[in-house]
Amino acid sequence: MSYTLQDVDTVTIQVLVDNELDPISKSQNPAVVDATAFRLRELPAGERGPAAMEMRMEDICCGAHGLSLLITATAGSTSHTLLFDAGPEEDVFEKNVTRSRADLSAVEHVHLSHWHRDHSGGLPRAIRMINAARTADGGLDKPTADVHPDRPIYRGFNAGPFIASLEADPTFEELEEAGAQVARRDDTHAVLEDMFLVSGEVPRKTAYEVGFPRGMRFTGEGKWVPDELIRDERFVVCKLKRKGLVVFAGCSHPGIVNICTHALAIGGGAPLYAVIGGFHLADGDAAKLEASIQGLQDLKPQILMPGHCTGWRFKFKIEQEIPGALVPCFSGTKYTLAGEGVGEAPA
> Whole-number minimum distance, CB 154 to Fe ion, in Å?
16
Segment interacting with Fe ion, rule: CB under 5 A, options 71-79, 149-157, 245-253, 335-343: 245-253
The site that binds Fe ion (CB under 5 A) totals a number of residues, namely 2
Positive/negative CA dihedral, 271, 276, 280, 281: positive
> Whole-number minimum distance, CB 250 to Fe ion, in Å?
6
> Whole-number minimum distance, CB 166 to Fe ion, in Å?
10
188 exposed, middle or buried (CB, 10 Å; 0-12, 13-18, 19+)? middle
CB hemisphere CA count around 289 (13 angstroms): 17
Show contacts with Fe ion in window 82-101 (CB under 5 A).
none
Q: Which is nearer to Fe ion, 194 or 233 (CB)?
A: 233
Q: Which is nearer to Fe ion, 87 or 301 (CB)?
A: 87
Q: Which is nearer to Fe ion, 52 or 164 (CB)?
A: 164
In contact, 51 and 95? CB cutoff 8 Å: no
Segment interacting with Fe ion, rule: CB under 5 A, options 84-92, 116-124, 228-236, 284-292: 116-124
In contact, 322 and 297? CB cutoff 8 Å: yes
> Whole-number minimum distance, CB 116 to Fe ion, in Å?
5
Q: Which is nearer to Fe ion, 166 or 251 (CB)?
A: 251
> Whole-number minimum distance, CB 247 to Fe ion, in Å?
16
Should residue 18 be labelled a site residue for Fe ion when binding is judged by CB under 5 A?
no
Q: Which is nearer to Fe ion, 251 or 263 (CB)?
A: 251
Q: Which is nearer to Fe ion, 65 or 204 (CB)?
A: 65
3-state secondary structure of 295: helix
Which of 246, 251, 264, 296 is the binder for Fe ion (CB under 5 A)?
Answer: 251
Should residue 118 be labelled a site residue for Fe ion when binding is judged by CB under 5 A?
yes
Residue least distant from Fe ion (Cβ): 251
237 exposed, middle or buried (CB, 10 Å; 0-12, 13-18, 19+)? buried
Q: Which is nearer to Fe ion, 118 or 209 (CB)?
A: 118
3-state secondary structure of 318: helix
| Size of the chain, expressed as the number of residues it contains | 347
Q: What is the DSSP string of 233-288?
A: ---EEEEETTTEEEEEESS-TT-HHHHHHHHHHHTTTPPEEEEEEE---TT--HHH
Segment interacting with Fe ion, rule: CB under 5 A, options 104-112, 164-172, 244-252, 298-306: 244-252
> Whole-number minimum distance, CB 307 to Fe ion, in Å?
10
> Whole-number minimum distance, CB 317 to Fe ion, in Å?
20
CA gyration radius for the chain? 20
Provide the residue type at 34 as one letter: D
Q: Which is nearer to Fe ion, 251 or 276 (CB)?
A: 251
CB hemisphere CA count around 121 (13 angstroms): 18
Give the separation between CA 35 and CA 17, rounded to whole angstroms. 15
Write the CB contacts of 319 (distance below 8 Å, at least 6 apart in sequence): 326
For residue 226, the surrounding DSSP H or E stretch is strand 224-226
> Whole-number minimum distance, CB 278 to Fe ion, in Å?
5
**Residues forming the site for Fe ion (CB under 5 A):** 118, 251
